[in-house]
Each structure stands twice: as structure tokens, then as C-alpha cells.
Chains A and B, each alone.
Chain A
């Protein structure tokens, strides 16, 4: 084990700070996200001559930017987390199924994997949002559908090679059923590869959610997400740049830290993957 380098430490600190801000953020501001102060609309941040009451400024109806950013951070992080977990569990399950049954089942499952990999996911997401109408449930499911095919490929490949190894055959010979074999014996062996994949998928889901919310097609008011605040601020670029710059900077810091951490984790846990850069 080598000493973690500066970048890894910084990236982890930023992520811990982001999670802490999402959980405890309301401590930093006396304002609720719903509080409107119509007398102080589009107030600049405190360091630019704004009042200390709104340290990061206010938006078009006088809502405190700190309160909005905390709410947006909560939404963006929890949606991305839910999406990542759904995708990881579903994809791994499909991969295990394909590797267990082989034959026709495997062919059909892998055809779905290829199909999803052949199109940019935002296209599939937009189609489903257009036809089924936007709702929170559908939106979270969509985030979960992102990237499942990568887990499926990964899990299938790893199971196929693990099953040929003596330990898996030994467990099978001792009479363990497939459930026990996969969950208790093979899953721990592929866990590191899956965790690396999680750290690589998470920032992509954040980007997908914020992109859609930015376009007005994701998280809908009264709920808010970082992307939605950024989209809101577009109309006020010339008068109130802070509305779009703060959420954008937050998104960037989170995705950057997570990607850097993912790369570091990959190099540490999975030296075999080191040359692959996807």
C-alpha cells in the first residue's frame, strides 16, 4: 500500500465536504429554500457588495442562494446515488444471469446490452420522458437505467472466468446452490471491479441528471437540483452571473473529484484495468 497522494486526499475532502453540506447545510443559513425576499431580488454575493445576510447572493425572487444550493445538492446527490445503486444491482444481476444460463438467455441479454450501448443514453431518456411524461419515479428509474450494461458486461465476464477457477468448483462440489455461490463466493471476488465501476458511473449520472434538469426536462419545480438552478440562471447571465456559476462550479468539483478518486481507486484495486482508459 502506497501513501495516498495529494490529489486523492483533496478529491476525497471535496466529496466529504459536499456530502456534509448536503446533510448539514441548513445550519449555515437562516433562510429556508422557500423563503422569498422580494425586496432583495438578484442581490450580489457578500464579497461583491451584497449583504452579509445572503453570503452567495439571491435569485430572481429573492431566495437565498446558499439555501437553494443545499437543496439542489441534496437532490442531485440522492438521485445520482439511487441511480447508481439501481444500475449496479440490476446490471450485475443481469450479468450473473447471462453467465449462469449461457446459451440463448445469454445471447438475448447481451443483445439488450449491445442495443443500449449503441445509442447515447440521453436519447433513450428523452424519448421515454416525452412519451410517458415526467415524474420523479420515472426520472429515478431512468437514472438507474444508465450504465447498467457496463455492469452486466463486467459481471458476466468475471463470472465466466471465476467459474473455471478451482475455488468456485470446490464450492459447487460441496453442494452450494447458485445463490450461495454467486453472492457469498464470487461477488466478493468481483467487488473491487464493481466498486471501481461505481465511482466511474456516479459522476456520469450526475452529469446526465444535471444536463436534463438544466434543459428543463429533469427535476421539476418545486423540487430543485443543481442543474435546474443553473438552467434558471441562464436568463440572468448579464445581471446575476452567480445564479448559474455557483451550481455549475459545484457540479464540476463533484464530478472532477469523483473521477479522480475513481481513477486512483482503479489503479489501486485493479491493476489489471490500469491500461484501459474508458
Chain B
């Protein structure tokens, strides 16, 4: 049991170390870090201070060590645009993205999981076909195009929803639905195949023979046993949600970190890009750790297997 948690923890630390090292290598191979992080028109005393802080006169290894230390304590430097600390800017934008991501996740779960269950129960029937067609559409439809279509329909033609910005529930509706589509499709597919596998198990026939009512069988006997693959997919889809948010926040001018990242990349505000990448990567790696641990809690066989 302890061994299971320990292995997961070590893996997580190694991945985080890889992420920081990746950022360091990119920073040092792409050009002068002074120009990269302070801009070409930095003041001489600013440059001097930066050189000292980063230890640019010391060996590459010493620089690496001090870099890891700075990143670990959240000292990402200042934005080129308004010279505010990067961490402050990121923290300011984080709630909007969290709100969008959470809303999308809830929508995806509410639509995807029941749709998958129904499709499995009506296997091969029309309902199943319809659900699977929608799942494939959700998979292949580019999210930015869906966003544009929704804006055309609801903002410009019907004029009932705002096309951009934030503030009210109505503002949240289109971006979160757009973001949820892909995850909902994936969830529906996986829930369906997980349920199909479970429904054929002998204990389901046994429950039916004992006279357990249909919905009770589905919800209390089948669903918990299908939960493992579903949780895995949710874990795998966190990355999809993050990647989707980067694009969708730009479509709907949603003031989150995804929009911030796109603007920073196009303006080559490298301190902000670097800070954002590290923050997003750490969040994702930690979220994956939580999913892994959840996995172990749901299925004792997995943590026993790690012994």
C-alpha cells in the first residue's frame, strides 16, 4: 500500500523535474536569457541585477541549480508588457479558467456518462447509434469551429447569448459547452464500452435472478464496477480540457490563462510564457497524481498489484 503511493510520488517528482529542465534547456538554447526575459531595451542596472540573480557569470550547472530554485519558489520574473510579477498576473487569471474548466467538466459528465450508459443498455438499437454518432462528431469537430458556429447562431442570428466576455451565467454557457463537447464524446464512448463489459458479468445475471430491480442493478451493481475505466478517461482528458481552454478562451475572449498564454506567445512575452507553462504543467502533473491515487482507492487490486 505505502509502496504504491511512494512509486506514484517519485514518478511525479521526476516528471516535474523534467518539466523544469525542459524549460531551462529551451530558455538557454533559444538565445540570450537577458534579452529573452527582460527585453532588448532593458536598463543596464536591471541587466546587472538579473545577471547576479540568475548567476549568469557562473557555470551552466550552477545556473541550472539556481534556476530550479527560483522556479520552485514561483519567481518567474516580470512581464515585458506591464513589468508586473508574472505569478501575480497568472493568479489573477486563474479563477476564470478554473470556472470555465469546472463548468465544462460538469456538463461533459452530465451528458457523457448517462449517454454512454443508455447506449450500452440499448446496444445495437437506434438510441445506441445516435449516441455513438454524436460521440464521433464531438471527437472530430474542431472546438474553435464549433465556437464560431455557436456565435453565429446564438449571438448574431438569434441574438440571445453574448459572443464574448465574462460576468454572468449566460457568458459562461457557450464557452463551457464548446469546451465540454470533446470530453463528453470521449466519456460516452468509454462509459459505453466499460458498461458493456460489466453487463455481461455473471454477478449481473445473479442480481437479476435475485429479483433486483433493473435500475438498481444498473446503478448499484454495474456502474461502480465500470467506474475504473471512466475515472482513467477523466484523468487522460484533463490535458484535453487544458488544451481546449487555450483555444476556446481565445474564441470567446474569456479572460483566463489560456487567453493569456496565446497573447503572451504572439507578443513573445517570454517570462509570462515560461511561468504559465510551468504553472499549467505542475497543475496537470498533480491532477494526474490525484487521479492515480483515486484509482488505487477505487480498486484494491491496483494497489496490491504494485507490491
**Smallest CB separation, B7 vs chain A (Å):** 13
Chain A residues engaging chain B, CB cutoff 8 angstroms: 111, 114-115, 118-124, 126-133, 203, 207, 210-211, 214-217, 227, 230, 233-234, 237-238, 241, 244-245, 248-249, 251-252, 255-256, 259-260, 275, 277-278
- Which residue, A131, A245, A278, has most C-beta atoms of chain B within 10 A? A131
A210–B19 Cα distance when bound, in Å, is 26
- Chain B CB within 10 A, most for which of A215, A238, A252, A275: A215
Q: How far, in angstroms, from A129 to B36 measured CA to CA in the complex?
A: 13
The answer to whether B285 touches A118 (Cβ under 8 A) is yes
A133 partner residues in chain B, CB cutoff 8 A: 268
Q: Is B113 an interface residue (CB 8 A)?
A: no
Q: CB distance B247 to A215 under 8 Å?
A: yes
Q: A252 touching B273 by the CB < 8 A rule?
A: no
- Determine how close the nearest CB of chain B comes to the CB of A181; give it in whole angstroms: 32
Q: Known contacts A119-B19, A214-B247, A216-B266; is A256 also within 8 Å of B137 by CB?
A: yes
B residues bordering A, Cβ < 8 Å? 11, 14-15, 18-19, 22-23, 26-27, 30-31, 36, 136-137, 139-145, 148-149, 151-152, 156, 189-190, 193, 197, 236, 239-240, 242-243, 246-247, 250-251, 261-262, 264-266, 268, 270, 273-274, 277, 280-281, 284-285, 288
- Contact check, B15 vs A237: say whether CB atoms are below 8 A apart: no
CA gap between A248 and B247 in the complex, in Å: 15
CB atoms of A128 and B26 under 8 A apart: yes
Decide: B27 and A131 in contact? CB cutoff 8 A. Answer: yes
Q: How far is the CA of A203 from the CA of B141 in the complex (A)?
A: 10
Q: Are B284 and A120 in contact (CB under 8 A)?
A: yes
Can you sample 21 A-B contacts with CB below 8 Å? A111-B18, A115-B19, A118-B288, A123-B242, A123-B243, A123-B280, A128-B26, A130-B273, A131-B27, A210-B144, A211-B142, A217-B265, A217-B266, A230-B148, A234-B148, A234-B251, A241-B152, A245-B148, A248-B145, A251-B142, A275-B197
Contact of B151 (CB < 8 Å), options: A120, A124, A237: A237
Are A259 and B136 CB-contacts (below 8 A) given A120-B239, A130-B268, A277-B190? yes
